[in-house]
Structure 1
């Protein structure tokens, strides 16, 4: 049980959490029946009340000992939390009249983190000239000089090979291949491009490997294609999405061992890697492994890796390194049979920073069989508090285990 002034009349009354059902019952009269039964939190959460938004009414909150997360809601009604913060595992959480909730551990009384003002956005930096020969970008190996060619547009051909060239088209896409099979694009410098560096549509089998992609409106966009590998490329100031799979289906697809960076807070970056309505198979999921990506923002909806966007299935994401990737590190927006394992995710506080990893069904499509395990996350939200994980609901079987939500990692992991 817990107490709170639920209607703001100056009188505290009783609330009750029934652990077996997850229901919370509150009353506004000392001797009356529960007036407002709501569903909030999970089984074994610790429920309490406080005036979290300062409007004079106490509302419910839940502390989840298994993850160390604290979730509060600004109305006594069924629904997800209004906000959350990480307070640590094994603490005792209490509410104190007139405060926004406090916690103490080992007898030391600590206030909840005080939000800090959002930093002033960094003005966009000038777009650099694509390195060639001896030019360098920290963290990236400059490409060699290659034969310069203009935009490449191929349709209806099979066994296409594009290699060892420098393709540029400041007015549009650099490489477009449609209605083709067995396409190889390798060991080339691509950019500047006013549109996509590489656009593939209705392609059966493609390999995009070993390329240096720079100064583009977008990176590699793959539409309605099968068995596509985008591996071992460098993306330097490569626009909105480094790699997006849009309705890519079937076995044999991967996005692995790429390195990428944008200007921190100074580009139109959205999702560095995006899987939209894309499906692997149970024996051959879409594999996203070993990528090193940094510097997103200022988009309020961007991420390092977005999974299950619009649905999708059989997606495996492991051993990636994300540094200041955007609003979210890794998001699972819907989908089935999705694994997020052993990734390193770091973000300092920016005005666009939200949460390190989330699982939250944002569509009407199925969301089930989700695993989040063995990840190490150090994420500071815009308010200056730790916010490594959010389970927004709407998904079926979701396993969250063996994650370090307060990892001792920093930007040097890149």
Structure 2
């Protein structure tokens, strides 16, 4: 579907090609076209039952900004993969009904499809493998549960990990280099219609190089819902490089709805058109992230909240304690935008929108030594 994205641009202080951000105070508006990710459904695969509707929770009585959260770990220093081989060359794997299995040490490429496909599988671990140069996804997961993708290297694939109609999917400590799309693919990881407890995208490293990649969203949650006691986690990822897509960016939550998500301790540098977004849904928390972008032909806004789905509720969301330095394509500082159609955004005034820093918030080398 096509939509018009109305984003305010701050214009008092002209930055031009500056590599750091300055504070501005006045607004103008520019209309650009944006396109929400459409759900890609694998033909012939239908979930066994429809996802239950998520009730619309009331705003909490206490300010959750000061609420102690479960799993409130600090940013790790060992993001990404630590494994450099050896590998055993394997044909692409198409697995159905696989249970209680570890797949390890594989080198798989597939110029005509996905590297690994899991359908109706459970308790499967894919680790210490090199999945690369495939026209499809590195790992496609459909109607499966308790799947772990950990300590792998994925390179030159359409999307790194794409999970549909699944539960308990964990994408942990992987190196991902140059996702190539095309739209609607182009993510490091995407969950589509995933539900329940134990879904995580944590401590991964993504680096896209302009001219070698065509990224959409680095991380996308499409109509995916955690639980109140086990929200979907997006913790401690390092993301550098995006574009030239005019619609893609860093971390997209609430795409076509969703609920119970925590996005924290991520660092994003030049991730695309936007940095982190809530496009709908309820009980989504975005906090303690660092977001930076220099002026590029596709840059727009650092953090935004805007209900872009007419069928999705958007309320009881929180955005706080984030640090954002973002320069749009016209050279103006444009750190954040609240559309006003998601109710009260708890913590909105507790962010640092005008902080001054540059891309050195990430180390010069973020992929492991064997993947540079």
TM-score using structure 2 length: 0.74
Distance 2:314 2:235 in 1: 22
1:408, CA displacement in angstroms?
A: 2.4
Q: Which runs of 4+ in 1 moved over 4 A?
A: 110-114, 139-142
**Residues 291 and 86 from structure 1, CA distance in 2 versus in 1: closer, same or farther, beyond 3 angstroms?**
farther
The alignment of Structure 1 onto Structure 2 pairs a total of residues equal to: 291
CA contact (8 A) 2:179 2:214 kept: no
Matches within 5 A, 1:52-67: none
Distance 2:119 2:81 in 1: 30
1:204, CA displacement in angstroms?
A: 1.4
Aligned partner of 1:407 in structure 2 is 355
**Residues 339 and 113 from structure 1, CA distance in 2 versus in 1: closer, same or farther, beyond 3 angstroms?**
closer
1:276, CA displacement in angstroms?
A: 0.2
User: Which secondary structure does the structure 2 equivalent of 1:161 belong to?
Assistant: strand
Aligned partner of 1:336 in structure 2 is 282
Distance 1:315 1:283 in 2: 11
1:413, CA displacement in angstroms?
A: 1.2
Match of 2:195 among 244, 249, 259: 249
Matches within 5 A, 1:8-87: 83-85=8-10
Distance 2:241 2:107 in 1: 25
Aligned partner of 1:136 in structure 2 is none
Decide which structure has greater strand share. 1
Aligned partner of 1:389 in structure 2 is 336
Match of 2:118 among 174, 177, 189: 177
1:141, CA displacement in angstroms?
A: 6.5
**Residues 266 and 215 from structure 1, CA distance in 2 versus in 1: closer, same or farther, beyond 3 angstroms?**
closer
The answer to whether the aligner puts 1:261 opposite 2:207 as a matched pair is: yes
Aligned partner of 2:218 in structure 1 is 272
**Residues 266 and 280 from structure 1, CA distance in 2 versus in 1: closer, same or farther, beyond 3 angstroms?**
same
The answer to whether the aligner puts 1:350 opposite 2:291 as a matched pair is: no
Matches within 5 A, 1:285-304: 285-304=231-250
Q: Determine which structure has greater relative contact order: mean sequence separation of CA pairs < 8 Å that are 6+ residues apart, divided by chain length.
A: 2
Deviations 1:62-106 (A, max 9, x none): xxxxxxxxxxxxxxxxxx966331659xxxxxxxxxxxxxxxxxx
User: Which secondary structure does the structure 1 equivalent of 2:246 belong to?
Assistant: coil
Matches within 5 A, 1:344-383: 344-364=290-310, 365-383=312-330
CA contact (8 A) 1:374 1:402 kept: yes
User: Which secondary structure does the structure 2 equivalent of 1:412 belong to?
Assistant: helix
* Structure 1: gaps of 5 or more residues: 1-79, 89-109, 115-138
* Structure 2: gaps of 5 or more residues: 14-23, 29-79, 181-185, 363-372
Distance 2:27 2:164 in 1: 44
**Residues 278 and 205 from structure 1, CA distance in 2 versus in 1: closer, same or farther, beyond 3 angstroms?**
same
The answer to whether the aligner puts 1:305 opposite 2:230 as a matched pair is: no
Question: Aligned-residue CA RMSD in angstroms?
Answer: 2.3
Deviations 1:351-404 (A, max 9, x none): 100000000000121000111100000000001000000011221231213211
1:142, CA displacement in angstroms?
A: 7.4
Match of 2:145 among 204, 220, 244: 204
**Residues 200 and 153 from structure 1, CA distance in 2 versus in 1: closer, same or farther, beyond 3 angstroms?**
same
Q: Which of the pair has more CA radius of gyration?
A: 1
Distance 1:395 1:358 in 2: 11
